[in-house]
A and B are shown apart, each in its own frame.
Chain A
Amino acid sequence: MIPGLLLRRRVTNVVMLSLTGVSTALVLGVLFFILGYITYHGISALDWDFFTKLPKPVGEKGGGMANAIVGTIKLLFLASLIGVPIGFMGGVYLSEYGRKNTAGFLIRYAADLLNGIPSIVMGIFAYTIVVLPMGHFSTVAGGVALGIMMIPIAVRSSEEFLKLVPATVREAGLALGLSEWKVVCFIVIPTAFRGIVTGIMLDLARVAGETAPLLFTAFSNRFWSRGWLEPTASLPVMIYTYAIAPYEDWHRQAWAAGMVLLMLVLGANVVSRLILHRQLKG
């Protein structure tokens, strides 16, 4: 081999491989930068008021986002009422009955389509079927938008975890004389339960951060939103509203809210990963 060529190949090798290392460092750097920046600005802005007080009038310092935090919790609750049952049933069907038939194919395809729909389009849909007939913005409309967004991920993750349950377990149940629905309900699902719950937790974390669909469904509210039929403040919408405004005090609160949201979302991700890790090992 010509020595020059060998050297060039070796150098290329080292350069390209180092670039991959650099890319990795870059990406990780971005992650830590975002985390660090938000934590730094958010921590100094977090105070007891943030969690307990309502927003103050424009331009006045102080106030908090208590209503937004409660609003986000209520929205997630409503969303799971829609997303969890449909998603779960979809996953059960796909895993237990629909692995290779037409219905299964169609449902999987629909779930993927649904997953690809941008969140703002979901917002339009919820506006046309909930807000317009009802005549006003409401928490329910926001819950519907988020709930539909939850479905595809709930379907896929439930399906995957149910499929992980070995066939031997099903066979054992049937051999004991249990009817098939009992095998599914009392053996397969409980075995996959932990995975399914973590899937739902991740799903909730994902929709918790969604802003666009709420802009014209749940709208926003400077006060407490009572019941389910009034507009409600939510963390992501407050972050957006405050971030684009020129008031320094609002920026401060946006950072705090950003940090709370980020911690919730990332926390859910880390916790579910830990739970899964333990399950796979044990």
Chain B
Amino acid sequence: MAKSGTNFFIKDMIGRPGVSSADRFFRATVLTGALSVLVITCVIAFELVRNSVLPIKKFGWSFLWGTTWDPIAEVFGGLPFLYGTLVSSILALLIAVPVGLGVAIFLSELAPRRASDPIAFLVELLAAVPSVIYGLVGIFVFVPWVRNFIEPALSGTLGFLPLFRGAPYGVGMLTAGLVLAMMVVPFIVSVSREILMAVPRSQREAILSLGATRWEMVRVAVLPYARSGIMGSIFLALARALGETMAVTMVIGNRPEIRLSLFEPGYTMAAVIANEFTEATGDLYLQALIEIGLVLFAVTILVNALARLMIHSVFTKVEVRE
């Protein structure tokens, strides 16, 4: 980015002789288009709230910790879906973060530049694969794998843990976590790689000159420096995992219940909306689903905001230090 240019903006021209009404008109038009982004976001939030009034009135905050989802008795509680969303996403992160960081470190520290860029591009392609395709491969490849190999292996070795009890269905929380992990790894890789590459050389050289091994350099000098940025990438990945619909609903088993074992089926906020929206008979039912959408909306906004904050802070730190 050209340094001299950052101080010179077109808008500085306003007020100078030669700025015509055509300029003002153009700017106003562009501004209107841009502001519609803001307007649309607000309208979405508004519509979600407006269309959730029935369950909000009936259940209030207890919607968030109610565990029954009974369309016949018209009792709706969102906790099983919150639980499922969080557990599947956290499981995905537990797998994706070490792997993703590993790839990011490899690409930023070990691979020569000529190889690093194409490989990074390939990893980013994973992010471009549509969700329904992950679901497709999930149903026909991963579910049988998990059912025939992974779940029996886990219950054979770690079966004493309540996490790995129960019959191997194949579909369930574990498979959902695995599929989600594949989907969010590219986010962790690409952001972390950028962050790691932004860490100044001086940090690395200082540690190496003290006799550290390559790995120690990474661990002591690079990672701590990049920590908040990496945290940001994790939150970004989390936000993506939370909202993921198709791939999850195709492999999670669709059962609104809170169970400890990862072999059991579960349900997420996005999946229940996808499955039950078109047929929610009764206004309370439909609006309860929309309220779930509202909760999802709120949670993803929160997580995204935190992510941006963290990533931003690394880059400002870099500017200050240099």
Residues of B within 8 A of A73 (CB): none
Give the number of chain A interface residues (Cβ < 8 Å): 101
Please give the distance in Å from B216's CB to the nearest CB on chain A.
7
Residues on the A chain within 8 Å of B296, using CB: 118, 120-121
**Using a CB-CB cutoff of 8 Å, which residues 27-76 of chain A contact chain B?**
27-28, 30-31, 34, 37-38
Q: Is A167 an interface residue (CB 8 A)?
A: yes
- A205 and B133 CA atoms in complex are apart in Å by 14
Residues B216 and A171 in contact, CB atoms below 8 Å apart: no
- Using a Cβ–Cβ cut-off of 8 Å, how many residues does chain B contribute to the interface with A? 99
Contacts of B9 in A (CB 8 A): 96-97, 99-100
Complex-state Cα separation, A26 to B202, whole angstroms: 31
Report how far A282 CA is from B37 CA in the complex, Å. Answer: 34
For the residues of B in contact with A, the DSSP-based class is: helix
Flag A194-236 by CB within 8 Å of B: 1 or 0 each: 0000000010011011111001100000000000000000001
* B-side contacts of A255, CB under 8 Å: 136
Contacts A113-B301, A215-B277: A86 and B33 contacting too (C-beta < 8 A)? yes
The docked-state distance in angstroms from the alpha carbon of A125 to that of B177 is 28
The answer to whether A13 touches B214, judged by C-beta atoms less than 8 angstroms apart, is yes
Whether, in the assembled complex, A254 has its beta carbon less than 8 Å from a beta carbon of chain B, the answer is yes
Q: Which of B12-20, B65-73, B146-154, B159-167 contacts A (4 or more CB under 8 A)?
A: B12-20
Q: Which residues of the other chain, A, contact B121 by a CB distance below 8 angstroms?
A: 273
CB closest chain-B residue, reference A32? B122
Q: Known contacts being A239-B133, A240-B135, is A180 close to B40, with CB within 8 Å?
A: no
- Number of A-B residue pairs at CB separation under 8 A: 293
Q: A20-B105, A216-B277 are in contact. Are A114 and B48 (CB under 8 A)?
A: no
Using A127-B277, A270-B125 as known contacts, list a sample of 12 further A-B pairs with CB atoms less than 8 Å apart, ordered by residue number in A. Answer: A12-B215, A17-B215, A23-B98, A27-B99, A27-B123, A98-B34, A113-B301, A121-B48, A163-B1, A166-B5, A209-B133, A251-B140
Interfacial residues, chain A to chain B (CB-CB below 8 A) = 9-10, 12-13, 16-17, 19-24, 26-28, 30-31, 34, 37-38, 85-86, 88-90, 92-94, 96-101, 103, 106-107, 110-125, 127-129, 148, 151-152, 155, 163-164, 166-168, 170-171, 174, 177, 179-181, 183-185, 202, 205-206, 208-212, 215-216, 236, 239-240, 243-244, 251, 254-255, 258, 261-262, 265-266, 269-270, 273
Going nearest first, the 9 A-B pairs with the smallest beta carbon separation are A209-B130, A89-B33, A167-B5, A118-B243, A23-B102, A181-B26, A93-B34, A116-B304, A20-B106
